[in-house]
Structures are given as C-alpha cells and as structure tokens.
A and B are shown apart, each in its own frame.
Chain A
Amino acid sequence: MDRLLFLFATGLARGAVFALFALSLVLIWRAARIINFAQGAMALVATYLAFAVTGLTGSYAAGLAAGILGGAAIGWAIERGVMRHAPHSTPLAGVIVAIGLVMVLQSLLGIVFGPQYRPMAAPFDETPIFLGGVPVLSPYDLFILVVALGVMGLLAVLFTRTSLGLQLRASAFAPEVSRMLGVRVDRMVTIGWMLSAAVAALAALLLIPTELGLNPHSTDMLFVYAFTVAVVGGLDSPVGALVGGLTVGVVISLVTGYLGSTVAPIGVLVLLVVVLLVRPGGVFSMREARTA
C-alpha cells in the first residue's frame, strides 16, 4: 500500500509536467489547428537559452524568464519564417516541415553545445515530504503542480473572458468569416504559436531539473508522452490536458514500478491505441469524431 501511494504521488508530479506540455499542444491546436511535432525541439532550444542565462547570471528566475520569453520568440520565428510558407491544403505538409525542424534544431544544439548531459539545478528542494513515513511530494513537485494549475487558469481566463481570446478562437474555427469581421487572423495565428511555445518551454524547464541533465534529446520522450496525453484528453480541451496528463503520469509510474521501466513506452502505446480505437475524440472532447 505504501508503495502504491508512493508511486501514485510521483506519478502525479511527473503528470503535472506532461499536462503542461499537453496544454501547449492544445493551445496550438486551438490557435492554428495543427499538431506541432516540433514543439519538443522548440522547447529544448528555449531551455538551453535559460540554462545559458542562469549560468551567466546565477539566477534561476532570470533563466526562467529568459526561457519563457525565448520560447515565445522561437514560436514567433518559426511561425513567421517557416510554417506560414508551408502548403496548407492538408496538415501533412505542416507535419513534415515540423519534422524537418526537429532535425535541424536538435542537430544545431548538438553542434553548438555537444552531447554532454548538463545538470540543471531546481529552485526548490527535491527531497520529498514525508506523511506518516511515506514519501509523498517534494516542494519542487508542489511548485510544478501550482505552476501548471496557475497557467491553466490564466489561459482559461484569457480564452473565455478576453477579447483577444475570442479572436484567437474565432481565427482558428472560422478564419474566413473572422477576417471579414475584422480580425487579424494571421496575427492571431502567430500569437497562438508564441503562447504555445512559451508554455512548452515552461514545461520543459520544469521537467529537466528532475532528470539527469540537459542534452539534445531531453524532450524526445516528453513529446511522445504529451502527445498521448493530448490524444487521451482531447486536443481541444484544456481540462482534458490536465486530467489526461495526471492520468498518464500515474499510469507510467505504476507501470514502471510494477512491471519495470522498459515496459513504459509499450504502456503508452497501448494506452494510445485503446483511446484512439474506443473513444477517438478523446475522453473529454466535445466532438464526436476526429475530424482532422
């Protein structure tokens, strides 16, 4: 029972990060109706930037700010510079371009920074708090949960209560009509990319201090897990991203704990297949079927 509780708690902590990253995928889906396969690589570039800034200034907060702003900047650059020019008639072209981007970004990072693992320090203690003798969450894990929930709340407010949010949603849903109504659709798409990339960067920045170190392949698995979360939760549902993220985190933790760490990717694949077959819209999605 102790072990179950412990695995559950660590799963929640990991899941919070997946939820945040999945949220960034939801954001870009809602803004531009694409799944950005390059999200992990873009977040990674922002993380290296944050790492460099922290190294120079010695301040975690400065690095965090730099990472988030850097993420937004990268989102802007990629949307303006690359994605805008991709053929739009089917989503496949955008996916292929995104894959090309992943290759370019990862190899550039490898060339500039090398393959070494660079340990990143966490701003809070990573030692778990003990409740009745069982280790539960650590202060850092709580920080992650608070940040994830906070960001989600902020975005919910942005999308439902502000005019900008309305414009963002309108541009994604019905671009022609929105244009006719005076919405700057192209700018909305760009803003969507910037927001999404910034959130993804934040997620990566929160995750990597808990791992071995920063390296050009740090976000590979994160993307796959977050994609699974997005599918499970429903790509157009932020609540789905949160619940899906925590669920996937717990599932992976339990699978690793009871069946061994090798099985984790298989567990993810099985989960993905099951959800796609049984409820293709995602557990929380509003729509009936997967239309794109």
Chain B
Amino acid sequence: MSHQSSASRSARRFGVLLAATALVLTACSTPSAPADEDDDPAAAVGDSTGVTDTTVTIGTHTPLTGPAAAGYSSISAAATAYFAYLNAQGGVHGREIEYIVKDDGYNPANTQTVVRELVQQDGVFAIVNGLGTAPHQAVLDFLNQNKVPDLFVASGSTAWNQPDTYPYTFGFNADYVVEAAALAQYANDELPGKSVCMLGQDDDFGDDFLAGLELALGADGVTAVERYSVSNQDVTAQIGALQAAGCEVVTLATINGFTALAIGTAAQLGWFPQWMASSSGADYPTLAGYLGEAAPQLLQGFVGTNYSPMADDDWVSLFREINDEYNDGAAFDGNTIYGMSVAYTFGQALEAAGENPTRESLLEAVTSGALTGNGIVPVAFGADSHAAYLTVGITRVDAGVQDYVGSTYQVKDGAVTAVEPQPVALTAEGVPGA
C-alpha cells in the first residue's frame, strides 16, 4: 500500500511545493517597470528604460569566478572605478552612471541567465562590454530581439560587426583578423624572409587569427600551425613541434597565461624565436607576473599589438590616478587601461545621446561617427561599421618597457596597409562633454 501511495504522495508534495513557490515568487518578484512612453509627454520619445532623472543604469556579464576569471576579472573593476570618477565630476548631463557587473563564469549558459536578469529584472539601459566570444554569442539574439543596446563587446570576434543582422550590437576590441594581419605584415616588413608560424587557441580565436595571417602572407605563408586547448596547460609538445619545424617568428593567438607558458617552455628548451602576440596575450605587466625574475630578459624584443593608450601617454597617467583613488590602488596593467578606455568611450556615447537619452538616441550617437574613443586612432563606428578598431599599432618591449613603435596597420576590404597613427589626445581630464 505504501508503495502505491508514495507516488501520489510525492506528486502531491510537488504540487504543494509548486503552488507555494509560485506564490512566493509572485510576492518576491519585482518586475522592472518599463519606461512607458505615455507616462510623461515631456520626456523624449523612445525607450528610456534604465534612465531616471539622476541615474543611468547599465550592466555587463564577465567571468568573476572560474578558470577564466584570472585574466579578466580586473577589467570590470577598472571600468567601475572610471565611472566613479566620472560621477564625482558631475556625471553625464547631471546623471550618475550605475554599472551592474554580473558573473557568468565564462559559461554561455550562465550568461543567458544573468543577461536576462539585467534586462528583465534590473532594467538596464544598455549592456556595455559584455565579455567573451562564446558567452556573448549566446545572448546576441536575445539582446537584439529585445532591442537592448549591446555596446563594446569585449572580444575580438568578427561576429559583433554585423549591422544588418544585429543592429544593436557593437564590438570594441580590434578583431583577431586585423591583429594577425598587422603582425604578419610587420614581420614581412621588418624581418623579411623569416619563416612565420603560429600557436593558437583551438577555437574561433585561433581560426580568425590564422585567417588574418594568411590575409597578409598568402595561403601558404604560414610554415607551421600548432593549437592548444585551455584545459591542458602543458604546451611542451606544441613548442617542440614548432622548434622542429624551424620557425623563426612565432605568432601567438594566446591569452596571457598561455603566452607565458609558451615563452617559458621554449626558454627551457633553449629556443628563443621572435615572439609576436595578439593584444589578448601581450600585456607586459601580466606576463612579467607569470614569468617572474627572468621576465625582462625573456620578453626583450617581445612584439604585440594594441590600440589603447600605453606607457607614458597622458591618458595612462590619468588612469593611474583614477586607479589609485577609486580602485583601491589595485594592480595597474593593460586590463585596467582597457577597462577605463571602454568606460570613457561609453561616457562619450551617453553624452552624445543628448539631454534625455533613449536607447534609440544612444544608437544614433554611436553610429553617427561622432565618437572618438581614446585609442591609437579614433573609433571607426558608423552606419555600416559596428567595429571600433580596424587599425592597430605594433608594440615592443625594450628593457622592461612596452610601448608603440610607430608602425600602424589598417585592414580594409581584405587588404592590410600601413597607416599613420592618430592618437586621440586627452581633453577635459577624461570627462566627456566637459
């Protein structure tokens, strides 16, 4: 008898629980009140969710925990620090910017959940600097279907630059094709005749990077290609293979940790090729942290790409001050500069969106081409370009200092050309619109 009723008993428990849960959830849930166009006739026409008289709320998803967190968790902290600085200077059109940072552990399934929370529960105005190729791909459809501005995605994938399919999404990082093409062209120009090889991550990062190399060098211009997987930290086999292939220049589509692993492993084998890395894996302070005391020797002559301010640029000095004052003096590295640069660019966009910003006016501001950002060239946003940087500068480490060498390359219409850098100068102490 107990056998028979246990099924119904458990079923009944389920029912009771479900009813209880539903009641509890209804009581607890505080659905965001979407800004109603009919509410205030004097307000701007358009969707101003997340905007009040005194605040603008924006959100992001980023890995704060999990294996990927080590390389990226400091970016959102830096951006938050910049916004704190901006708010202290009066904000944008008198509104303070509130930046909600949610952890997705670099897991696309979690990204789905936290982005839905941000949009439907927290009612954010826009998603800014969502991090990670795979995580962000999972929410592209959702954000565009719900007409939420999806600005300055932190990833070098080319997927963010599709104005027709994803009109609400804009990238920020120079994409991997551009970076690889620039590095390959630099190798061609400065080290002609040397064999070029690649060590790359075994996903789109590596694929796009290889495509960029071939763009500059031709389909058989790359002597050897090795791939690594983030889950396996032993790259001895790959380095051995590259050495055996006689590579003289090794381009790296690697994150910082694996750049360090590659260089360190090769050094142990007594092999010192010319290393060139994408900006995702070329940050000197981070690499030095991994490589320890031998870093200045191992990284002498290390070449990378970048598009953000560097070394003793005015922007960097400003960011150092902001870091000290608003970020509890956290470690200052490439991620810090990057995070604050993105935040500044958003500040510019918000300022250009007008006194009463709406989601539509924000997009208008970005695609109008009026934004400059603060990088090595003004950002390249326009009506048919949702990419920020199609131009990157080459950087080099000399005696422990990493800086631009002056060579700058642009990729346009499938070809890479050398151009002159036009760094955006610091104005108004980094406060947009002031």
Contacts and interface: CB of A to CB of B under 8 A. Distances in A.
A212 B238 contact: no
B228 A261 contact: yes
Contacts, number: 85
B236 interface: yes
A126 B270 CA distance: 11
B227 A127 contact: no
Size bracket, chain A contacts = 20 to 34
Contacts of A264: 229, 232
Given A3-B244, A6-B240, A127-B270, A119 B231 contact: no
Interface stretch (A20-28, A91-99, A109-117, A173-181): A109-117
Nearest to A110: B65
B46 interface: no
B419 interface: no
A116 to B, nearest CB: 5
A115 B69 CA distance: 6
B268 A212 contact: no
Given A116-B70, A212-B290, 20 more contacts: A6-B240, A115-B64, A115-B70, A117-B290, A119-B289, A119-B292, A213-B70, A213-B257, A215-B70, A221-B232, A256-B232, A256-B234, A257-B237, A260-B227, A261-B202, A261-B228, A261-B229, A261-B238, A262-B202, A264-B232
Contacts of A7: 237, 240
B257 A212 contact: yes
A265 B202 CA distance: 15
Contacts of A262: 202, 227, 229, 231-232
B166 to A, nearest CB: 29
Nearest to A119: B290
Interface of B: 64-67, 69-70, 73, 202, 227-229, 231-238, 240-241, 244, 257-258, 260-261, 267-270, 289-290, 292
B202 A135 contact: no
Contacts of A126: 268
A200 B233 CA distance: 20
B217 to A, nearest CB: 23
A246 B17 CA distance: 53
**What secondary structure prevails in chain B residues at the interface with A?**
helix
Interface in A209-261: 210-213, 215, 217, 221, 253, 256-257, 260-261
A115 B62 CA distance: 14
B268 A261 contact: no
B16 to A, nearest CB: 27
17 contacts: A7-B237, A7-B240, A10-B234, A115-B73, A117-B257, A117-B290, A127-B269, A212-B290, A213-B257, A215-B70, A221-B232, A256-B232, A257-B240, A261-B234, A261-B237, A262-B229, A262-B232
Nearest to A221: B231
A290 B65 CA distance: 39
A261 B232 contact: yes
B236 A10 contact: yes
Interface in A170-206: none
B132 to A, nearest CB: 15
Nearest to A211: B233
Contacts of B73: 115
B229 A213 contact: no
Nearest to B73: A115
A128 interface: yes
A212 B260 contact: yes
A12 to B, nearest CB: 12
Contact of B292 (A6, A121, A135): A121
Nearest to A255: B237
A10 B232 CA distance: 14
A261 B227 contact: yes
Contacts of A210: 234
A130 B269 CA distance: 9
A2 B234 contact: no
A30 interface: no
Nearest to B240: A6
A6 B240 CA distance: 8
A128 B268 contact: yes
Contacts of B231: 221, 262, 265
Contact of A212 (B233, B237, B269): B233
A169 interface: no
B362 to A, nearest CB: 33
A276 B209 CA distance: 41
Contacts of B232: 221, 256, 261-262, 264
A126 B234 CA distance: 14
B231 to A, nearest CB: 7
A213 B202 contact: no
B294 to A, nearest CB: 11
A193 B419 CA distance: 66
A121 B293 CA distance: 11
Contacts of B64: 115
A257 B244 CA distance: 12
Interface string A258-274: 00111011000000000
Contacts of A221: 231-232
A14 B234 contact: yes
Nearest to A125: B268
Contact of B235 (A116, A217, A261): A261
B84 to A, nearest CB: 22
A60 to B, nearest CB: 14
Contacts of B270: 127, 130, 135
A3 B240 contact: yes
Contacts of B233: 211-212
